Amino acid sequence: MSSHQIDILFLASLVGVTCALPGVFLILRRVALMSDAISHAILLGIVLAFFMVKSLSSPLLIVGAVLTGVLTVALTELLINTRKLKKDAAIGLVFPLLFSIGVILLSRFAGDVHLDTQCVLFGEIAFAPFNRLMIGNMDLGPQATWVVGGVLLINVTFISLFYKELKITTFDAGLAASLGFFPALINYIFTALVSVTAVGAFESVGSILVVALMIAPPAAAYLLTDRLFHMLLISAALGILSALGGYFMAQGLDASIAGSMATFSGIIFFLVFIFAPERGLMAKLIVRKYKKWDFASETLAVHLLQAEQAHAEENERVVKHMNEHMLWSDDYTSEAIVKGLKEGVLKKDGNKLSLTSYGREKAKNILSKE
Amino acid sequence: MDIGYLIEFFSNYTVRVVMCGAMILGITAGTLGSFALLRKQSLLGDAISHASLPGVCLAFLLTQSKSPLVLLLGAGISGWIGTLVISLVTENSRIKKDTALGIVLSVFFGFGLVLLTIVQKLPTATKAGLDKFLFGNAATLLREDVWTMGILSGIIFILLLAYWKEFKLIVFDKDYAKSMGLNVVFLDLLLNTLIVIAIVIGLQTVGVILMSAMLVAPAAAARQWTDRLGIMVVLSSLFGAISGVAGSITSSLMLKLPTGPTIVVYLSMFVIISLLFAPHRGMLWDVLRSYRHKKQLQRTTVLKNLLLFSEISTDPYHAHDVAALTAIGRGPLQKTMIGLSKKGYVRQSVPNKWALTEKGLNAAQKLTKEIEEQVNVITSD
């Protein structure tokens, strides 16, 4: 593996972690789509700042991006507060306008320079290692790595310093306000953090794919744990996994690295969605099935108990006629009997069913509950 | 730019094709957007349009054809799969709707970019032009494209008219629709499918990234002007059509001006104007209304206070000093007094001394009685 590849892999993993951390709070606060709005809108800030300083590596670009990110959230909230539009419509109006102005400025006035609409969408992670940070004659590695690393440092610092505040404003904004935690202020600082993250990752993965890296790994983590701290750790790990998997997928297909990273994060989410213990689709289906047959064998046991107590005719217990007594279909009845026998609730004497002592206890318990 | 040039411009064949396409797009998106907005699905359009990108590329990779019908069919199928994934995920896990929308939007789009880069590396000559699906390019619309758009929107309008009442019902009261025995699941799916088709129609002109604005913005603007669905749909398609045509023409006239963003800027102007000036709902009306209420409140307060004075003096029409009224009242008293005297409720005997007229006394007594009754109603509850 060449040093060029290692540079890209390291940068991609950094981007994965950096995006995943604020993403956790985005999905817990149910504002996942704010990341979409912010990552689009910051383009305007980046373009305006770029026109002012004529350089892509100036810190002023980050300032511009953060300002437009906060502006987006403020404008959206302003629109919602007029009560003339619902939240989703307000989001859907503000960012397309800001993004459009950004794209128009970019296409009209910056067509020939380094920043163009393609790089806005794709990012240029493959070229990132060519742009080195040099101090004197010392090569300190790709510049983008330092930028993203800096953003990661900001994210980690903010989240660990304000962990308690973030946690309480996320889960119970009302309580947070009554305890004097200023949820609105935390919200704006958090918005700024998302903007910084989006602009940091922007050069590498483009403005739309940032959204995938911010939302998909935390959403997968959300299906795996109930603890905030674990969710942060799992998200970061899945972020790295998305980056690495995406890189090799791109190598294999000879396609866009950023696009592959987004695709891979989606694949990971989907796998977790299906196979997660407890909350996955499979686990849920299994539990549902288990409960269904549990219920069926219990119902059979109760029926037999009642037949026993009423000294009903023997044919009430004949296996063949069970479906008629229970008003069940044939398949369902035989499956229920098999389950009941397996669990030791029922026993079979010739062609008749009867309760085991365990089954009798169980049926009595169920009836006494009613 | 002289008139001759303009005439030549509008009689130009390409320009007419572009205008037709933009108009069809605006009308269809405006109509379906009204339903999406009222169903609070504004952002679903965003997810669907992003999700349609891989479909476009896959359709091209599989068929090697750039026929609009093939590409748009691919777009429609993958946009539709996107909506299915969203409901699958939200119904079977604790993932919230916004998160599911975000995942579908970005992951599908990412996959679309992967396919797009693969397409761009193909050695075939027909590969060019797929990237217009990103930001849209009205200038490259062909007659064939416009025909496809027209047929698709024809299908939409036939279905919309056929199911108008049912759609209206599921938009405003789904539970009631269900209790009436309507097949809500089918109608939901049908309406979502129509939204997918409307999005697909706009992809070549506006592009996947901004197509959602084409749905949301005209509907949001139209919503401010009316409370009736029929009128809203008409207004919304009108706003959509005007912005579509204006945006496409501006972008065809100027170099390096992508169509999608230009249309969005026009649309946003409609939204801003509507939010500010629409009668009844506009912000200007809010300001006027609150000014009127304030004036009304000041006048009734002064009348009531004058009545209070007149009840404790022997002559009910005795004049009182403004200072005394100010002492128990509030606000810009002089202006209020002049307003009241114009209505004939009060008169000024000597400067700064005001008295009730007979009309004013009656009005004040009636007012006090009304207020007392209202207070009684409230306290007896």
Which CATH code of 2.120.10.30, 1.10.10.10, 2.170.190.11, 3.30.1120.80 fits the domain covering B291-369?
1.10.10.10
Which of the listed residues A228, A251, A278 is the one where a domain comes to its end?
A: A278
Question: Among A19-28, A61-70, B188-197, B334-343, whose mean pLDDT is lowest?
Answer: B334-343
Q: Residue B271: its chain A contacts at CB < 8 A?
A: 93
For residues A56 and A159, state if they share a domain: yes
Regarding beta strands A352-355 and A346-349, do their DSSP bridges make them parallel or antiparallel, or are they unpaired? Answer: antiparallel
Number of domains in chain A: 2
A111–B256 C-beta distance less than 8 A:
yes
Q: Cα-atom radius of gyration of chain A, to the nearest Å?
A: 30
Residue located via tokens 């049926």:
A363
Asked if A237 and A317 sit in the same domain, the reply is no
With 80 as the cut, is the pLDDT of residue A154 above it? yes
* Average predicted confidence (pLDDT) for chain B: 87
What would you measure as the largest C-alpha separation in chain A, in angstroms?
Answer: 100
| Residue B5, Cβ density class (10 Å: 0-12 exposed, 13-18 middle, ≥19 buried) | exposed
- With 90 as the cut, is the pLDDT of residue A157 above it? yes
- What's the length of chain A? 370
Question: Taking 70 as the threshold, does the pLDDT of residue A178 lie above it?
Answer: yes
Look at A27 and B96 and tell me if their CB atoms are within 8 Å. yes
Task: State residue A138's pLDDT score.
Answer: 75
> What does the alpha-carbon distance between residue A311 and residue A305 come to, in Å, rounded to a whole number?
10
Chosen domain end from A278, A306, A334 = A278
Say yes or no to pLDDT of A370 above 70: no
Query: Which member of A88, A211, A256 has the closest CB to residue B106?
Result: A211
Would the pLDDT of B344 be above 70?
A: yes
Query: Under an 8 A CB cutoff, do B213 and A97 touch?
Result: yes
Query: Once rounded to an integer, what is the mean pLDDT over residues A106-125?
Result: 69
Q: Where are the domains of chain B?
A: 3-274, 291-369
- Residue A140 identity (one-letter amino acid): L
By Cβ distance, the residue of A33, A79, A111 closest to B98 is: A33
Per-residue tokens: A302: 């109760």
The answer to whether the CB of B260 falls within 8 A of the CB of B138 is no
- Give pLDDT, residue A229: 95
Instruction: Calculate what percentage of chain A has a pLDDT beyond 90.
Output: 32
- Predicted pLDDT at B126: 59
User: Helix, strand, or coil here: B280?
Assistant: coil
Among candidates B89, B105, B210 on the partner chain, residue whose Cβ is nearest the Cβ of A273: B89
Mean pLDDT of A102-109: 85
- Report the pLDDT value the prediction gives residue B187, as an integer from 0 to 100: 92
A139 against B234, higher pLDDT: B234
Q: Is residue A341 domain-shared with residue A200, that is, in the same domain? A: no
Across residues B333-358, what is the average pLDDT?
80
Tokens of A76: 């959206």
Whole-number pLDDT of residue B243:
95
Q: Which residue has the tokens 């989410």?
A: A269
Residues A341 and A195 in one domain: no
Contact check, Cβ <8 Å, A266/B103: yes
Percent of chain A with pLDDT over 70: 94
Q: Are B76 and B197 in contact (CB under 8 A)?
A: yes
Span B3-274: which CATH code?
1.10.3470.10
Name the pLDDT band for B41 (thresholds 50, 70, 90): confident
Quote the pLDDT of residue B19: 87
Instruction: Inform me whether the C-beta atom of residue A154 falls under 8 Å from chain B C-beta atoms.
Output: no
Identify whether residues A301 and A363 lie together within a single domain.
yes
Domain that holds residue A312: 282-369
B40: helix, coil or strand? Answer: coil
Chain A residues within 8 A of B209 when measuring between CB atoms? 40, 99, 121, 208
Higher pLDDT, B103 or B374: B103
Cβ neighbours around A319 below 10 Å, total = 15
pLDDT number for residue B329: 62
Q: Given this model, what pLDDT does residue B271 score?
A: 95
Q: Which of B101, B103, B257 sits opposite A108 (nearest CB)?
A: B257
CATH number (domain holding residue A20)? 1.10.3470.10
Give the pLDDT score at A245.
Answer: 95
Query: What does the pLDDT average to over B160-173?
Result: 93
Same-domain check for residues A260 and A295: no
Helix (H, G, I), strand (E, B) or coil at B147: helix
Hey, which of A137-141, A308-312, B92-96 has the most confident mean pLDDT?
A: B92-96
Of A294, A120, A98, A87, nearest to A208 (Cα)?
A120
What single letter denotes the amino acid at residue B53? L
Beta carbons of A256 and B42 less than 8 Å apart? no
Evaluate whether A288 touches A347 at the Cβ level (below 8 Å).
Answer: no
Q: How far apart are CA B48 and CA B36, in angstroms?
A: 12
Does the beta-carbon distance from B118 to A255 stay under 8 Å? Answer: yes
Chain B residue numbers touching A212 (CB-CB < 8 A) = 103, 106-107, 109-110
> Tens of pLDDT along B104-123?
999 999 999 999 888 888 87
Residue A113 pLDDT greater than 80, yes or no: no
Q: How confident is the model at residue B128 (pLDDT cuts 50, 70, 90)?
A: low
Question: Is B199 or A354 the better-scoring residue by pLDDT?
Answer: B199
Q: Which of residues 171-200 of A touch B (CB under 8 A)?
A: none
Tell me: pLDDT of A110 over 70. no
pLDDT tens digits for range B240-266: 999 999 998 888 888 778 888 999 999
Residues A292-322 have pLDDT tens digits of 888 888 888 888 888 878 776 666 777 777 7
Q: Could you tell me if A117 lies within 8 Å of chain B, comparing CB atoms?
A: yes
Q: Identify all chain A residues contacting B50, using CB atoms and an 8 Å cutoff.
A: 208
Q: Which residue has the tokens 């600082």?
A: A189
CA neighbours closer than 13 Å in the CB half-sphere of residue B145 = 25
Give me the pLDDT at residue B370, please: 84
Among A38, A93, A274, A275, most B C-beta atoms within 10 A, so best to mutate, is A93
Residue B161 CA to chain centroid, in angstroms?
22
**Ramachandran sector of residue B183 (left: φ over 0; alpha: ψ -120 to 50; beta: rest):** beta
Q: Which residues of B85-105 are buried (b: 16+ CB within 10 A; e: fewer)?
A: bbeebbeebebbbbbbbbbbb
Same-domain status, A364 and A260: no
Q: B346-348 and B353-356: which strand pairing?
A: antiparallel
Amino acid letter, residue B360: G
Q: Is the pLDDT of residue B9 over 80?
A: no
Q: Which of A329-333, B283-287, B353-357 has the highest mean pLDDT?
A: B283-287
Q: Are residues A269 and A211 in the same domain?
A: yes
pTM beyond 0.90, yes or no: no
A152: number of Cβ within 10 Å: 19
pLDDT of the residue at B100: 95
CATH number of A355's domain: 1.10.10.10
> Are A230 and A341 found together in one domain?
no
Contact B54, B111 (CB under 8 A): yes
Report CB contact under 8 Å: B262, A100: yes
A185 lies in the same domain as A297: no
Single-letter code of the amino acid located at B374: Q
Do A93 and B264 lie within an 8 Å CB cutoff?
Answer: no
3-state SS track over chain A:
CCHHHHHHHHHHHHHHHHHHHHHHHHHHCCCHHHHHHHHHHHHHHHHHHHHHHCCCCCHHHHHHHHHHHHHHHHHHHHHHHCCCCCHHHHHHHHHHHHHHHHHHHHHHHCCCCCCCHHHHHHCCCCCHHHCEEEECCEEEEEHHHHHHHHHHHHHHHHHHHCHHHHHHHHHCHHHHHHCCCCHHHHHHHHHHHHHHHHHHHHHHHCCCHHHHHHHHHHHHHHCCCCCHHHHHHHHHHHHHHHHHHHHHHHHHHCCCHHHHHHHHHHHHHHHHHHHCCCCCHHHHHHHHHHHHHHHHHHHHHHHHHHHHHCCCCHHHHEHHHHHHHHCCCHHHHHHHHHHHHHCCCEEEECCEEEECHHHHHHHHHHHHHC
CA distance B345 to B360: 4
pLDDT band per the 50, 70, 90 thresholds, residue B341: confident
> Given a cut of 60, is residue A114 above it in pLDDT?
no
Is residue A139 left, alpha or beta, with left meaning phi > 0 and alpha meaning psi from -120 to 50? beta
- Both A239 and A299 in a single domain? no
Interface of A with B in 315-344 (CB under 8 A): none
No. of helices (H) and no. of strands (E), chain B: 17, 3
- Mean pLDDT over B296-301 rounds to 82
For residues A274 and A221, membership in a common domain is answered with: yes
At A269 the pLDDT is 96
Domain end: A278, A302, A329, which one? A278
Angle between helices B42-63 and A32-53 (to 10 degrees): 80
Of A33, A96, A256, the CB nearest to B114: A256
Distance between CA B35 and CA A236 in Å, rounded? 39
Asked whether the predicted pLDDT for residue A208 surpasses 60, the reply is yes
Neighbours of B276 (CB within 10 A): 14
